[in-house]
A and B are shown apart, each in its own frame.
Chain A
Amino acid sequence: MSPETRSGTKAAAAPAADVIHNIGYRNYDGPRLGRAYARRSLFSQSLRGAYGLGRSAKSKVLPMILLAVMCAPAVILVAVTITTQQEKLPVQYTRYAVLLQGVIGLFLAAQAPQSVSRDLRYKSVPLYFSRPIERVDYVVAKFAAMASALFMLTGVPLVILYIGALLAKLDFVDQTKGFAQGIVSVALLSLLFAGIGLVVAALTPRRGFGVAAVIAVLTISYGAVSTIQGIADTQGSTDVIPWLGLFSPITVIDGVQTAFLSASSSFPGGYGPSAGQGVVYVIVLLGLIAGAYGLLMRRYRKVGL
């Protein structure tokens, strides 16, 4: 706005005593980036935020340490494979995430509340919804960002293993097949864990309680399931072991990959689900992911206002 236009309009209409002056405020008439852009921004900001990028140095510490802890065993395994000239990798691609589930759980527990609880606490959710995004955009963006963050956390070590395996001149077809199965498995794991973590975290505006609640859901369910499975194994009632695995997130993933992704089960005694039970596992897995999405949509119907 230039001063000339303002003085010009004033001069033209010889001002009466009490008139509302046009002081030249103008509407924004530049390009509007729209809903898709806002959704993309929310996604990328949430994804960066999960690793502390664009936040203070202190909040980068934990995710980066966890990423390093996640990758370190893969590097060691590759080094061992190459120096000792093994025929195959000491750990299956599909097994890796199950072994390091504690790290994944901690990452989720630390970052899921960071992603959603603070928006609730500082009441910035209504501000998001004052932009041209809908409830579904917010939920999808946060869900996708958390799942992508987890996918990076679990996928990078697999890539390290794969590259290492190829450098060690292991069988290409074999390794590629295993790698692809591993990637599918961690993709499912990321979606499931992201859904569970976000649903729990979205319930409380307190970050601390969110962290504790997420880790409680993951470890308590796993602790309970593996304790009962262990007892069922020692008691010899091995046919209930696969069914028990349906009750905790990581064992659901384990069951699905045992049934369909040629992984060896980490259940006590190795009694993984058969193909028939595997179908139930897949249904439960997809149901949990869809249920988490539905619960988030339901939750944000209220808090958005």
Chain B
Amino acid sequence: MYNHTVARLTYRALLGRRRALILCALPVLLLVIAAAIRAMTGADDQTAADVLGGFALATMVPLIGVIAGTGAIGPEIDDGSVVYLLAKPVKRPTIIFTKLLVAIGVSVAFSAVPTLIAGFLLNGNSQQIAVAYAVAAAVASIAYSAIFLLLGTVTRHAVVVGLVYALVWEALFGSIVDGARTLSVQQWALALAQKIGADGAISSAVGLPLALVLLIGVTVVATWYAGQKLRSLTVAGDD
């Protein structure tokens, strides 16, 4: 189920040349903000939860998920070079699974790890806030990677669709319509964070068992379906 060459190629496509710098910019910004706020206001649990929840989990994690998830396969399909990969005797679900692993690795490295460090910078992990949000970021990264990898195989406008989901659905509808939150990766991840963090420090709109089932279900189904889509992929260049 894992092919080293595919992994190496995907890794280089994601982090090659200047792209690693772009991906680095987001976590660096988070750390700078965290350090600045700590210097400005001192350690405060509510502030830490605001920054980690409002900026790290709500904005940074989905963006990195979109970049890593669609970037793992989208550009290849876009410029047609995926046919050279598909022509090799490698099973297509294997290709998807390998790319998913790389996307997860990249997004966890660039979102969960900085979240953890930022949490420690902000309040030194009091009330387990740093660990809770880091775990939430890691779990959300996995689900986002799978979803956006699937989007990359389904549509040529994967990035736009992914951003519409991440920004419009999760941020806008999630804050207005309560029901929309049940279908939000961010809320599922928050449910896990709620469990880890101290009582009342973090709140989620979804219960933990439902959140776990949905997280795992979405990840598995998205990966499986992406493999199926890749089996019947037609490479068309119209745009």
Chain A contacts to B: CB under 8 angstroms: 55-56, 58-59, 62, 102, 105-106, 109-110, 118, 121, 206-209, 211-213, 215-216, 219-220, 223-224, 227-228, 230-232, 234-235, 237
Separation in Å of the A196 CB from the closest CB of chain B?
15
Interface of B is mostly: helix
B78: nearest chain-A partner, CB-CB: A208
> Residues of B contacting A219 with CB < 8 Å?
59, 63, 167
Q: Which of A56, A213, A224 has the most CB of B within 10 A?
A: A224
B159 touches A211 (CB 8 A): yes
Q: Which of B36, B168, B172, B239 has the most CB of A within 10 A?
A: B239
B74 touches A215 (CB 8 A): no
Separation in Å of the A217 CB from the closest CB of chain B?
9
A228 touches B159 (CB 8 A): no
Separation in Å of the B88 CB from the closest CB of chain A?
23
Whether A208 touches B159, Cβ cut-off 8 Å, given contacts A102-B172, A223-B59, is yes
Q: Does B22 contact A (CB under 8 A)?
A: yes
21 contacts between A and B (CB under 8 A): A56-B239, A62-B160, A102-B168, A106-B160, A106-B167, A109-B163, A208-B78, A209-B75, A212-B67, A212-B159, A215-B163, A216-B22, A219-B63, A220-B59, A224-B55, A227-B50, A227-B55, A228-B37, A231-B41, A231-B47, A235-B40
Partner of A223, one of B55, B67, B239: B55
> Residues of A contacting B29 with CB < 8 Å?
220, 224
A119→B134 CA distance, assembly (Å): 41
| Interface residue ranges of B26-78 to A (CB < 8 Å) | 26, 29, 33, 36-37, 40-41, 46-47, 50-51, 54-55, 58-60, 63, 66-67, 70-71, 74-75, 78
| Interface residue ranges of B158-183 to A (CB < 8 Å) | 158-160, 163-164, 167-168, 171-172
> Residues of A contacting B74 with CB < 8 Å?
208
A118→B75 CA distance, assembly (Å): 13
Separation in Å of the A113 CB from the closest CB of chain B?
9
| Interface residue ranges of B167-203 to A (CB < 8 Å) | 167-168, 171-172
A220 touches B47 (CB 8 A): no
> Residues of A contacting B78 with CB < 8 Å?
206-208
